[in-house]
Amino acid sequence: MTHTNGRRRVVVTGQGVVTPLGTGVEKFWAALKKGECGIRQVQSFPVEDLYITIAGEVPDFDPRERLKSKQLILADKYSQYAGCAAQEAVIMSKLEVPLKDSKAYRAACIIGSGVGGLTTLEFSYKMLFKENKRATHPLTLLKAIGSSASAHVSIEYSIKGPTFGVVSACSTATHAIGLTYRMIREGLVDLGLAGAAEASLNWGATRAWQAMRVLSPDGLWPFAKRRNGTVLAEGAGILMLEELEHAKARGAPILAEVMGYGMTADAADMVNPSIDGASTAMQMALDDASLAASDIDYVNAHGTATAVNDINETRAIKRVFGNAANKVSISSTKSMHGHCLGAGGGIEAVAVVKAIGEGFIPPTVGLDEPDPECDLDYTPNVGKSRGVSYAMSNSFAFGGLNAVLVFGPPPA
C-alpha cells in the first residue's frame, strides 16, 4: 500500500534504548509513565572542582553482559550504547540477521552522535599531556570518530547499504531517523537502523558546558518559572524502520508509521533559537505527513529548560497550531531522562511511538509553577491516558539546526 502520490510507506518495526532511566524500552517507558527522574549526583568522574555535579548517567551498564560483539566490547561507550539499543531494535523487529546476499545492500545503518568518542579523547589527552605517555591506545582513533557506532552496528548485522554517522548537535538522532525514512520512502533501501548515541559525560565536557552558562546545578524543569538551565545526559535511541509491504511480507510487528519529516536551519545565531526555523520545520513535517496541526494529539517537545528555548518553542507551537495549540498534549521527557544531546531525538522518538501504542502522555516533571509565557498543556508532573493517533517529536539544536518527525498509528 502506498500514499496517493505513489511514495512508499515507512513503518517502525523495532526500537531500542539505553537511558538514565534504565536500559530497554519497557523499563524506560515504565519509568516515564511513573514520572521517575534519572538525574542524579555524578558518579563516573570527580566533581570536586565543578559547580555542576548532576547529570543523567546510564546506571548499571556492563557491555560484557549486554553485548555479544567482541568488537563493541572494545569500542567507546557511545558505540556500546548504540550497539545495545540496535540489538534490542533488531530482536524486537524479528528480522533474520545477519543479512545475506542482495538484502544486505538494501539496508541502511544511519547512527549519529553529537560528539562521538569524547571520553576516549579525554583519556588519551590525559595520557599524553598529564602522564607524559609516548603514545595513546592503538584503538583511540577508531573509538573516537563519529561514524564508529554506525560501522560497528553494520558489521554486526552485515548491513552493506548506506552506512554513516550524522552530526547535528541535539538534532542528530532526529535527522538520522528522517534521512533513513526518506531513503526507504524513495526506494533506495527497504529497511534501516536509525538514531544516535551519546556518551560524553566527563570532566572536560562538563567544564566546557559550564563555561556556556546553560547548565543547571539543581535539575531540569522545562517550561517552569523556576527553570535555570539544562542537565547533560547520555544514552542511545535506535529505531528499525522498514517499508510497509516488506515488513508485512515477513510478518514483522508494526509499532507505528513514520508519516512526515521536516528540517530547517535558522541561519541566525549559534545559541539563541529562532521561532521561524522551528515553526517552519514543524509545518514541513505536517505537510509531508499530509496532516493538519489539529490532527496531532501529542507533541514531545524539545523542552531543554533553558530560558529562551522554552519560550521560543511555545511560540513556535502556537504559530503552527493556531487554535489547536490549546488542545494538544505536550511534554518534555527530558525532565526525566535529561538532555541526551545527539541521542535525545532517538530516545524521544521511542517515547512517542510508545505514547501512540498505549494511548498515554508522559509527564513533564518538576513543573510546579509554569512560566507565564509557557501557557500550553505541558502535562505537569503526572502523565495521563489519552488516545494518540498522531504525534510530533521536536529537536532544535545549537547552531539553529531543526528537525521534526511526525508519527502515526500502524496502518490498518
Active-site residue identified among 152, 175, 246, 302:
302
Q: Domain check: are 211 and 319 in the same one?
A: no
Q: Which one of 207, 225, 249 terminates a domain?
A: 249
CA distances from residue 316 to 36, 305, 319, 393 in whole angstroms, order as listed: 28, 16, 5, 13
pLDDT over 50 (residue 51) = yes
pLDDT greater at residue 68 or residue 365: 365
Q: Summarize the confidence of residues 67-71 as an average pLDDT.
A: 85
| 91 within some domain | yes
Helical H segments across 197-330, by residue range = 203-212, 244-249, 275-289, 307-321
Domain membership of residue 323 (yes or no) is: yes
Whether 39 and 116 map to the same domain: the answer is yes
- For residue 5, the model assigns a pLDDT of 63
Structural domains of the chain, count: 2
Segment 116-167, tens digit of pLDDT: 999 999 999 898 998 899 889 899 999 999 999 999 999 999 999 999 999 9
* Cell matching residue 179: 534521512
Q: Which pLDDT band holds residue 412 (cuts at 50, 70, 90)? A: confident
Nearest alpha carbon to residue 397 among 313, 292, 322, 291 = 313
Of 152, 339, 340, 374, the active-site residue reads 339
As a whole-number percent, the residues of the chain with pLDDT over 90 amount to: 93
The per-residue pLDDT for range 284-299, each reduced to its tens digit, is 999 999 999 999 999 9
Domain annotation covers residue 150: yes
Q: Is the pLDDT of residue 53 over 50?
A: yes
Bridge partner residues of 2 (DSSP): 8
In a domain, 256, yes or no: no
Any alpha helices (H) in 35-171, and if so which ranges? 63-66, 70-73, 77-93, 101-105, 118-125, 140-144, 148-157
Q: CA 161, 168, 54 angle in degrees (round to 5)? A: 120
339 is catalytic: yes
Is 85 inside any structural domain?
A: yes
Q: Catalytic: which of 170, 175, 246, 337?
A: 170
- Which H or E element spans position 351? helix 344-358
The answer to whether 296 touches 391, Cβ cutoff 8 Å, is: yes
Q: What is the CATH number of the domain that holds 132?
A: 3.40.47.10
Q: Are the beta carbons of 390 and 297 closer than 8 angstroms?
A: yes
Active site residue 246: no
Helix axes 172-185, 344-358, angle to 10 degrees: 60
Q: 243 and 194, same structural domain?
A: yes
302: annotated active-site residue: yes
Query: In this structure, what are the phi and psi dihedrals at residue 125, rounded to the nearest 5 degrees?
Result: -65, -35
Last residue of a domain, one of 249, 275, 304: 249
Same domain, 162 and 239: yes
Give 2's pLDDT tier (boundaries 50, 70, 90): very low
Do residues 229 and 313 share a domain? no
Per-residue pLDDT tens over the stretch 78-100: 999 999 999 999 999 999 999 99
Q: Judge whether residue 207 has pLDDT over 50.
A: yes
- In this structure, the answer to whether residues 57 and 204 fall within a common structural domain is yes
H or E segment at 272?
A: none
Domain extent for 134: 10-249
Average pLDDT, the chain: 96
Domain end position, chosen among 249, 281, 311: 249
DSSP 295: G
Sequence-ordered alpha helix ranges (H) in 43-135: 63-66, 70-73, 77-93, 101-105, 118-125
Residue 63 lies in a domain: yes
Integer Cα distance of 393 and 378 in angstroms: 14
